[in-house]
Amino acid sequence: MKKIIDSWFTVTPIDEKTFAISEFGHWEKVHSFLLIGEEEAALIDTGLGIDNIKRITDQVTKLPIRVVTTHVHWDHIGSHGEFDSVYVHKEEEDWLVNGIKKLPIEQIRHDVSRDITKPTPASFQPETYTPFQGQPTGLLEDGDVIELGSRKLVICHTPGHSPGHISILDTSRGYLFTGDLLYDETPVYAFFPTTDPVQLVLSLEKIANLKNVTKIFGSHNTIGLEPSLLDEVKKAVQELKRQDVIKFGTGIHTFNGFSVQF
């Protein structure tokens, strides 16, 4: 595939059928991921909605695309309305249909418009920016399997950052897509009113015990973390329990390769 040059999105090939689609011009440094199978493609999240991510996916594949939502926060559902097939965990169906809970639109508009370092399209108007709302095509549960044709995605319910947060294991390659449960450089958030520190730590423990992971892809910051990070996660979980700090207000806890804020 020829290299894609775009004014807003950066496309990084992970392998010949897996691509990170990044928005580095925004402080969130958010990544969506396009996984191409033999019969269908999966797009894990659709980004900020500052620009239309479908412009990129149309250049990469002609296969039908199923959007798989890690969680219903505004920076992960921005272009959901451009796709016909959208899936979300059942715990966040209501968020997708009726709006993100306990997050005022004023706060969202402030966050989407600040610290932008690339030119944005004329269609982006921060004062009227509104997160996608709509009925999902289907609902996901823990253990569900999405078959793309020669590529199988296993859904892991990993709540904590949000009630219906999921991680996705691509068993054909050992890629683990962790959404906002695990990434580097900046803290994983578990201090919002809609977050749950206890559930988040249980979810970290859950992914740390997954087998045959070859690479970890969080939705922010570095693209592709080594699976050895899961060993650090195991140690961190035990340390958080030992210190009895898995609760709101205990601040930022820093470990080797990642941090968490309660």
Closest to 188 measured CA to CA, from 168, 206, 203: 203
| pLDDT tops 90 at residue 240 | yes
B/e letters for 119-156, b = 16+ CB within 10 Å, e = fewer, are ebeeebeeeebebbeeebeeebeeebebebeebebbbb
- Which range, of 1-5, 19-23, 228-232, 253-257, averages the lowest pLDDT? 1-5
Q: How far apart are CA 139 and CA 157, in angstroms?
A: 12
pLDDT value of residue 69: 98
Find the mean pLDDT for residues 204-222.
97
| pLDDT tops 90 at residue 1 | no
Find the mean pLDDT for residues 184-203.
97
Contact status, residue 70 vs residue 165, Cβ threshold 8 Å: yes
The reply to whether the predicted model has a pTM over 0.95 is yes
| pLDDT tops 80 at residue 151 | yes
pLDDT value of residue 197: 98
Contact status, residue 139 vs residue 126, Cβ threshold 8 Å: no
Name the CATH code of domain 10-261 (choices 1.20.1630.10, 3.60.15.10, 1.10.287.470, 3.40.50.970).
3.60.15.10
Between helices 197-208 and 229-243, what is the axis angle to 10°?
Answer: 140
pLDDT value of residue 84: 96
| pLDDT tops 80 at residue 50 | yes
CB atoms within 10 A of CB 222: 14
Tell me the β-bridge partners of 216.
176, 225
- pLDDT > 90: what percent of the chain? 98
Q: How far apart are CA 139 and CA 91, in angstroms?
A: 9
Instruction: Band the pLDDT of 221: cuts 50, 70, 90.
Output: very high
Render 230-259 in DSSP notation, one character per residue: HHHHHHHHHHHHHHT--STTS-EEE-SS-E
Closest to 237 measured CA to CA, from 262, 211, 196, 206: 206
pLDDT value of residue 9: 98
pLDDT tens, residue by residue, 58-116: 999 999 999 999 999 999 999 999 999 999 999 999 999 999 999 999 999 999 999 99
Helix (H/G/I), strand (E/B), else coil: 107: helix
Find the mean pLDDT for residues 176-201.
97
Q: How far apart are CA 156 and CA 55, in angstroms?
A: 29
Find the mean pLDDT for residues 16-44.
98
| pLDDT tops 80 at residue 131 | yes
Instruction: Band the pLDDT of 181: cuts 50, 70, 90.
Output: very high
pLDDT value of residue 2: 75
| Residue 90 per-residue DSSP state | G
